[in-house]
Structure 1
Amino acid sequence: MSHRTSGEKFYFGWYIVLISCMITLLTVGTRLGIGPFFKPMADELGVSRTFLSFVISVGMLAYGAGMPVAGKLVERYGTRFVLLSGLGMITVATLWTIWTADTVSFFLAYGILLSFGLAFTSPVAMTPVISKWFTRQRGRALFYLSTGAMAGIAVMTPVFQWLIGWIGWRDTLLVLDIVFIVILIPSAIWIIRDEAPAGTDLLPGQLASSHLSQTLSANQMIPLVDWKGALRTKPFWNIAAGLFVCGFSMNVLGSHGVPMLTDHGFSEMTASFGVGLIGIVAVGSTVVLGSLSDKLPRKNLLSLIYLIRGIGFLLIAVVMTPWQLYLVSVMGGLAWAGSTALSSAILGDVYGVRWVGVLYGWTYFVHQIGAAVGSFLAGWGYETFGTHLPSFGLTALLLAAASLLSFYLPVQVRYANHLQPSAHSSVSGSR
């Protein structure tokens, strides 16, 4: 199959982006769309919300721990090997989960093995191949990958709720695994390919300006001998702290949003649609934010995202009617996307693209620690206080703190348009 250059009608790299978005939709939707499973699993297995929150929390850690492993295996064996390995683990974990009623086996299968397998089909596995295929439009392509993650929340949460009501949670997991098989096997064999054409998607005359921009921006960055040097600088920890709160907030909502809303008197479908609406709106806002991130200071945009998200957490815990829920969901969706994409871009601005992969990997692991802590604390808080209000209030406070930390990140320098500032921005004096 001809790869086509960017000057022709369609560049083959966009097929890779499209299928990567679909895989990301399934993966992130499975990982963050836990809410509809929560009560049915707890009731059928006869476990407490605290125990199930613990299982989910460990799963978040396993998901995060699997990401650097997946990244290393992509480098050594290629994307196809990692995707098919992940599919194998997902299939084994799914069958193990639906055939067991033992809580220890459930913990090992659903909590650990499924989560580790999902890390192998996560955006971390897809980012390297997209980065190889795109130079001129790399930011746009990676933001589309984030759109797949947002679509996962929007699509999978109500779909899971509908399927669980129809066939039960065990058969819903089986259907999910079949969908993974149908999409991943042909995609890994015929579409995903690590070898990009020479020049990727660059237009004639852009290669020289791209190199010039990299030379200019290198003089503005915080110099590092190796990636460990970033651990001694404030921007790294500001970003890591923000991503901790990002993971905390996303999984408080993903794991406990639907149960909280049903406890407040909303029907299961209304609650699921309310949470899913956040993802629907976030799909569009991701594209807009991708454009704005090249025009506005990224640290200001990241700060605003955290602030709006914090306000949304306060409001969603006190809404009384469906229209209020949907209004808050729309507002939250506008700020739900972009925090991880902006964080990785800022890491590149501050420390250079050479180190962005390993630094983003470690900060995303911190994100997953936040996810584990948030998911567990929300379940523990409900059983301790009899309400989700303390956990959602705490989340709002943490997001306000993340907003403040992000505001004090360095500001990227911008160059002339012909030097492609969106791909090669850097930072000014603040260190």
Structure 2
Amino acid sequence: MTKPVSSSASSPAPLRSPLPILLCGCLIAMATFGPRSTMGLFTTPITSERGFSLELFSFAMAIQNLLWGLGQPFAGAVADRFGSTRVLAVGLIVYAAGLAIMAYASDPWSFNLSAGVLIGFGLSGCSFNLVLAAFGKLMPERWRGTAIGAGSAAGSFGQFVFAPASSLLIRSVGWSNTLLIFAGLMILAVPLTLALWTPRLATSPTPGSTNPPAGVGALSQQTLRQALAEAFGHRSYVLLVMGFFVCGFHLAFVTIHLPKFLIEQGLTPEVGGWTLALIGLFNIVGSLGSGMLGNRIPKRWLLSGIYLGRAIAIALFVSFPITNTSALMFGAALGLLWLSTIPPTSGLIAIMFGTRWLAMLYGFAFFSHQVGSFVGLVIAAWTREVYGSYDIIWWLGVLLGLLAAIVNMPIRETPVDRAATVPAE
């Protein structure tokens, strides 16, 4: 008779209990998302001191976002196969190197290499996306939705802390020293990755293991190629990926260009910093609320509501005179809708396909997100230089928000049937 697997055999060690995992993961998310979310505050000092054009700065940020997205599926696949700790640690080191080199970049080549390539690939290995995927694997089901919401909120709390801190540091010690301080923080975050260690994926079922749960048949035997074929042959996943493109479009444009837009409207740089900070602060509420609401209402409805809310917020913001008050109100409203797309998006992927290849499948969805970021940044810089204003990109953001709200409605929130795709052995 097969000896059943005891519950104690799979019980986590003290460090593996949910609370330390949640705490360390949130600290990593905060540390990595914070500097990246304040890049727009470096636009004016870097372009002025180095003589770089707005197009060069925006293109480097576009490369950063694109490579962040391009590297995410591969980083996710490695994390799924070999565990999260190594991927997170390497990502933090590469991120730190990119920030440090960016501080001394004096020509377009070195600036694109550091701010674009190194930071982009570094983020693909250490951003909150990998943290959320680790939460999906390590957290008990009753913790999972809350943990993913908390991880998203932690990234935004990093934005809330780093935005005003960046403005203060740039003014007091200079933008290059500020980047070096950020690089040091990435190195300090490396030991935290030990709490997110996930076991190396077994290539065959463990003797004595129980059968997979219903809806994820033969999950332990599914290969990466089978997982990809299954996901991209699934209509709901494709719709989810399409909607996530719009999320990236909104986030990158606002993060990089909003501070400059506000300056052009006659406001001070500090208002831009506090607007970004409010986005981060209110996203704590939005992300946590999204994680909890996703357990109570259909996630596709939640996503559609978020995208519709963004379209309305942007339309109202640009339809009235831009003042200190309207900028801060816009930051608060957009913050509620900022990263609140992530809990329902990652939750839908887990529902449809399970957690075996969660990091990799979320990585491909995030690649679509970052393609949206790349497109948004390129169009924003081009339309600003050609037409002298950001009007076109704002209203394009409204249109895309409405389309994303429609695209998410037909998504089905049910596990995929793998019986015919991955036969049990």
Which residue of structure 1 aligns with residue 165 of structure 2? Answer: 159
Structure 2 distance, partners of 1:402, 1:168, is 40
Q: What is the SS of the residue equivalent to 1:120?
A: helix
Q: Residue 178 and residue 216 in structure 1: after superposition, are their counterparts in 2 closer, same or farther (change >3 A)?
A: closer
Q: What is the SS of the residue equivalent to 2:214?
A: helix
Which residue of structure 2 aligns with residue 389 of structure 1? Answer: 391
Are 1:193 and 2:159 counterparts? no
Are 1:54 and 2:55 counterparts? no
Are 1:127 and 2:132 counterparts? yes
C-alpha distance after superposition, 1:298-350 (max 9, x if no partner): 11111000011111222333443222222222222222232122122223334
Structure 2 distance, partners of 1:36, 1:113, is 19
Residues 34 and 161 of structure 2 are in contact (CA less than 8 Å); yes or no, is this contact kept in structure 1?
yes
Are 1:346 and 2:348 counterparts? yes
Total equivalences in the alignment: 394
Q: Residue 61 and residue 35 in structure 1: after superposition, are their counterparts in 2 closer, same or farther (change >3 A)?
A: same
Which residue of structure 2 aligns with residue 398 of structure 1? Answer: 400
Are 1:33 and 2:32 counterparts? no
C-alpha distance after superposition, 1:271-295 (max 9, x if no partner): 2211221221110121122111111
Structure 1: gaps spanning 5 or more residues: 197-207, 219-223, 414-424
- Counting only pairs closer than 5 Å after superposition, residues 236-315 of structure 1 correspond to structure 2 as 236-315=237-316
Between 69-78 and 376-385, report the one with greater CA deviation.
69-78
- Of 4, 19, 25, which residue of structure 1 is paired with 2:24? 19
Which residue of structure 1 aligns with residue 205 of structure 2? Answer: none
Report the RMSD for the aligned CA atoms in angstroms.
3.0
TM-score normalized by the length of structure 1? 0.83
Structure 2 distance, partners of 1:39, 1:310, is 28
C-alpha distance after superposition, 1:144-173 (max 9, x if no partner): 111112223322222212211222211110
Which residue of structure 2 aligns with residue 170 of structure 1? Answer: 176
TM-score normalized by the length of structure 2? 0.84
C-alpha distance after superposition, 1:224-263 (max 9, x if no partner): 9643133234322221111111000000100101110111
Q: What is the SS of the residue equivalent to 2:46?
A: helix
Q: What is the SS of the residue equivalent to 2:389?
A: coil
Structure 1 distance, partners of 2:314, 2:236, is 26
Q: Residue 394 and residue 128 in structure 1: after superposition, are their counterparts in 2 closer, same or farther (change >3 A)?
A: closer
Structure 2 distance, partners of 1:7, 1:81, is 19
- Counting only pairs closer than 5 Å after superposition, residues 38-187 of structure 1 correspond to structure 2 as 38-136=43-141, 137-184=143-190, 186-187=191-192
Q: Which residue identity is paired with 1:235? A: S
- Of 367, 370, 379, which residue of structure 2 is paired with 1:368? 370
Q: Residue 347 and residue 11 in structure 1: after superposition, are their counterparts in 2 closer, same or farther (change >3 A)?
A: closer
Structure 2 distance, partners of 1:325, 1:408, is 34
Structure 2 distance, partners of 1:336, 1:298, is 16
Q: Residue 118 and residue 12 in structure 1: after superposition, are their counterparts in 2 closer, same or farther (change >3 A)?
A: same
Structure 1 distance, partners of 2:15, 2:82, is 28
Residues 105 and 114 of structure 2 are in contact (CA less than 8 Å); yes or no, is this contact kept in structure 1?
no
Structure 2 distance, partners of 1:26, 1:292, is 26
Structure 1 distance, partners of 2:390, 2:117, is 26
Structure 2 distance, partners of 1:149, 1:7, is 26
Moved over 6 A (4+): 5-11
Q: Residue 240 and residue 7 in structure 1: after superposition, are their counterparts in 2 closer, same or farther (change >3 A)?
A: closer
Q: What is the SS of the residue equivalent to 1:320?
A: coil
Deviation (angstroms), 1:131? 3.0
Q: Which residue identity is paired with 1:359? A: L
C-alpha distance after superposition, 1:342-397 (max 9, x if no partner): 12222333445455443322111111111111112111111111111111111111
C-alpha distance after superposition, 1:119-141 (max 9, x if no partner): 22112332343233212312221
Q: Which residue identity is paired with 2:145? A: G
Between 172-181 and 325-334, report the one with greater CA deviation.
325-334
Residues 96 and 182 of structure 2 are in contact (CA less than 8 Å); yes or no, is this contact kept in structure 1?
no
Q: Which residue identity is paired with 1:108? A: L
Q: Residue 352 and residue 337 in structure 1: after superposition, are their counterparts in 2 closer, same or farther (change >3 A)?
A: same
Q: Which residue identity is paired with 2:32? A: T
Deviation (angstroms), 1:31? 2.4
Residues 300 and 411 of structure 2 are in contact (CA less than 8 Å); yes or no, is this contact kept in structure 1?
yes
Residues 72 and 364 of structure 2 are in contact (CA less than 8 Å); yes or no, is this contact kept in structure 1?
no
Which residue of structure 2 aligns with residue 419 of structure 1? Answer: none
Residues 70 and 124 of structure 1 are in contact (CA less than 8 Å); yes or no, is this contact kept in structure 2?
no
Deviation (angstroms), 1:16? 1.9
